[in-house]
Structure 1
Amino acid sequence: MALSFLIDFRGEVAALSAALIWAIASVIYIGIGRQLSPLVLNFVKGLIAIVLLILTLLLKGGLLPQISLTAVGLLFLSGVVGIGFGDTAYFEALNCLGARRALVLESVAPPLAAVMALVFLQERLAVGAWAGIALTIVGVTWVIIERTQGTLQPQSHRWRGTAFGLLAALGQASGAVLSRAALAGTTIDPLWSSLIRLVAGGLVLVIWLLLQRRTVQDLKPLRSPRFLLLLTVTAFASTYLAIWLQQISLKYTAAGIAQALSATSPLFVIPLAIALGEKVSLRAIVGVLVAIIGIWLLFS
């Protein structure tokens, strides 16, 4: 029965698994982001993931798949928009606002992806699915807002962070819909779609880095073996593994549902906080319960 559930809901399970990984990685990236600029960080983690994906494809023996030029173009554009611009904007929002406030703005992405998929892909969702997306996002936002009380950043940082956070949400929603258009109803391996998206995003970042005339000094933190190991492990989880899971979710479930479940990262912070002895308010727990009802509707 468990195996049947995993097969029937593999897209949804993959999205939740990616959310769990991103919840942990977001906290780690705040520390890493203090030593590397958003552009450099995005490029290096993407490069690590590209190497890992190529090695995986070589081991699987699937290095030359049959993919139409249309699908390649859609996935390439998805990488440019979602990874090249979207992820860089998200790292900038993280630096300005912190993980929790940046994640609040990310909650705009799922309904935006659902609307874009409806308009461009004619991907219609049942009323229950729309209700599930709404409850999931309300619950997640409630949890984040409850846990963001404290010292605010300077107003200039908040405005800058908000702008980049909204750009990140737009980029990720657009990237998700483009991936969904390429993957739905095809035999494309999500490993391959992940590689194409990362290569596209990497090319954008290379051009961006050259235009900004970044120097070798920007890479100085990478000389530390400990820092490089931390970045490699985090990139393995958050970029190689999580983006692979995200592509699986977009292949097997609707774009809006995949995005909504991927946005549940903050919910996974609550059990971790309790385990570490941190006091969690009743309001935050209620927010989790609301989101869980939304998730249940999406699985139903």
Structure 2
Amino acid sequence: MVLTIKKGELVIFNIFSNIPLNLAGGEIAALSAACLWAIASVVYGILGKSIPPLQLNLIKGVIAISFLLITIVMTGDFSPSLAPVPLLLILLSGAVGIGLGDTIFFAALNQLGPRKVLLIETLSPPMSAIAASIFLDEFLTLGAWCGILLTILGIAWVVTERVSHSSDNSKTQTWKGISLGILAAAANSSGAILSRAAFSQINISPLWAGLLRLTAGFFIILVWVLISPQNSHVFVNILQLSKRVLCYCILAAFLGTYLTIWLQQTAIKLTNVGIAATLIQTSPIFIIPIAILMGEKVSLRAILGVIVAIVGISLLF
């Protein structure tokens, strides 16, 4: 079986029947990115117990950029089409979506916790779709809008399930966390729109787009570390990490950053930005079977939420 990308579709040629089966390549790339991010999140969760978020961001950025550079050397893709304006758009998308977006997201996690922040993050797809319809002249059908709505509802139903032994935040923390969560969703959406705008002007490979976005995001985080006095110990702590922890970092960065960013850029390039953003947000759905495999109890509500989201996803194809 041979896989090729052609005119926005993933064409699967069956070597036995020679009958091509046309599947939406952008949607498949987005779902694959969501699945890999769910797997990597388990590893990042383990690493987060010993490595602060800012350090983890720097480490995964260096590792993922290294993987992308190695891939570029191996593929010989040394001549990307980089006009000034599209290049600026891609760099801005990385700075906003990866650098600022991830930073604000982690800040929101500290205020609200993952359950509520993930719920707020589901605002990103409709933000992307609305922005794309305004700035990129992209329009979604009624069925696609219904699919987006169902997918968001399914994800929200899963992540908003009450967690036992969880403590309530003060009103100040709650409103601050909500504000940060909305800003993180807006940053994620803005990054997707900027990437799409760049793709509409030049023909650049998702590999190079991912590298440029990661590099821009990495430098934003790096500047933040350098100008912040309380983060002066970050580099020393990174050098003191054990080999085992570094191996886990490499695994998480390979799955959750290197492959995921590449697939995300492929999805944004090959399909409507609103649909891509929605499917990329389905990581909480993929966590459910992972949790079952790890021996965790999954409620009926979580399973029903998965079904609702899958129905919504099916309406997007």
TM-score (norm 2): 0.87
One-letter code of the match for 1:145? T
- Decide which of 161, 166, 169 is 1:151's aligned counterpart: 166
C-alpha distance in structure 1 between counterparts of 2:79 and 2:158, whole Å = 44
Q: In the alignment, is residue 3 of structure 1 matched against residue 9 of structure 2?
A: no
Displacement after TM superposition at 1:210 (Å): 1.3
Which position in structure 2 is the counterpart of 1:15?
30
Contact 1:96 1:153 in 2 (8 A): no
Gaps of 5+ in 2: 2-10, 14-19
Q: How many residues align?
A: 299
C-alpha distance in structure 1 between counterparts of 2:263 and 2:257, whole Å = 10
One-letter code of the match for 2:152? I
Which position in structure 2 is the counterpart of 1:234?
252
C-alpha distance in structure 1 between counterparts of 2:153 and 2:253, whole Å = 29
Which position in structure 1 is the counterpart of 2:53?
38
Q: In the alignment, is residue 81 of structure 1 matched against residue 96 of structure 2?
A: yes
C-alpha distance in structure 2 between counterparts of 1:20 and 1:90, whole Å = 20
Q: In the alignment, is residue 280 of structure 1 matched against residue 298 of structure 2?
A: yes
One-letter code of the match for 1:287? G
* Larger CA deviation: 51-60 vs 177-186: 177-186
Which position in structure 1 is the counterpart of 2:267?
249
- Decide which of 75, 85, 100 is 2:115's aligned counterpart: 100
Contact 2:93 2:192 in 1 (8 A): yes
C-alpha distance in structure 1 between counterparts of 2:260 and 2:45, whole Å = 18
Contact 2:39 2:290 in 1 (8 A): no
In 2 relative to 1, CA 271–147 (structure 1 residues): closer, same or farther, beyond 3 Å?
farther
Displacement after TM superposition at 1:44 (Å): 2.1
Which position in structure 2 is the counterpart of 1:164?
180
Contact 2:86 2:202 in 1 (8 A): no
In 2 relative to 1, CA 91–30 (structure 1 residues): closer, same or farther, beyond 3 Å?
farther
Q: In the alignment, is residue 195 of structure 1 matched against residue 204 of structure 2?
A: no
Contact 2:225 2:232 in 1 (8 A): no
RMSD value over aligned CA atoms? 2.2
* Larger CA deviation: 228-237 vs 213-222: 213-222
Question: 1 or 2, which has the higher helix percentage?
Answer: 1
Contact 1:184 1:252 in 2 (8 A): no
Displacement after TM superposition at 1:147 (Å): 5.5
Which position in structure 2 is the counterpart of 1:139?
154
C-alpha distance in structure 2 between counterparts of 1:180 and 1:89, whole Å = 22
C-alpha distance in structure 2 between counterparts of 1:230 and 1:282, whole Å = 32
Deviations 1:170-205 (A, max 9, x none): 111000011111124742100000011111112211
C-alpha distance in structure 2 between counterparts of 1:241 and 1:265, whole Å = 14
Question: 1 or 2, which has the higher strand percentage?
Answer: 2
Q: Secondary structure at the match of 2:297?
A: coil
Contact 2:83 2:202 in 1 (8 A): no
Which of structures 1 and 2 has the bigger CA Rg?
Answer: 2
C-alpha distance in structure 1 between counterparts of 2:272 and 2:218, whole Å = 26
Q: Secondary structure at the match of 2:267?
A: helix
Deviations 1:156-179 (A, max 9, x none): 654444333222111110000111
Which position in structure 2 is the counterpart of 1:181?
197
Contact 2:195 2:268 in 1 (8 A): yes
In 2 relative to 1, CA 145–6 (structure 1 residues): closer, same or farther, beyond 3 Å?
farther
One-letter code of the match for 1:293? V
Q: Secondary structure at the match of 1:266?
A: helix
Q: Secondary structure at the match of 1:298?
A: coil
Deviations 1:208-257 (A, max 9, x none): 11110332455425521111111121111111110100000000011110
Displacement after TM superposition at 1:284 (Å): 1.9
Matched ranges for 1:60-79 at <5 A: 60-79=75-94
TM-score (norm 1): 0.91
C-alpha distance in structure 2 between counterparts of 1:157 and 1:227, whole Å = 32
One-letter code of the match for 1:176? A
Q: Secondary structure at the match of 1:3?
A: strand
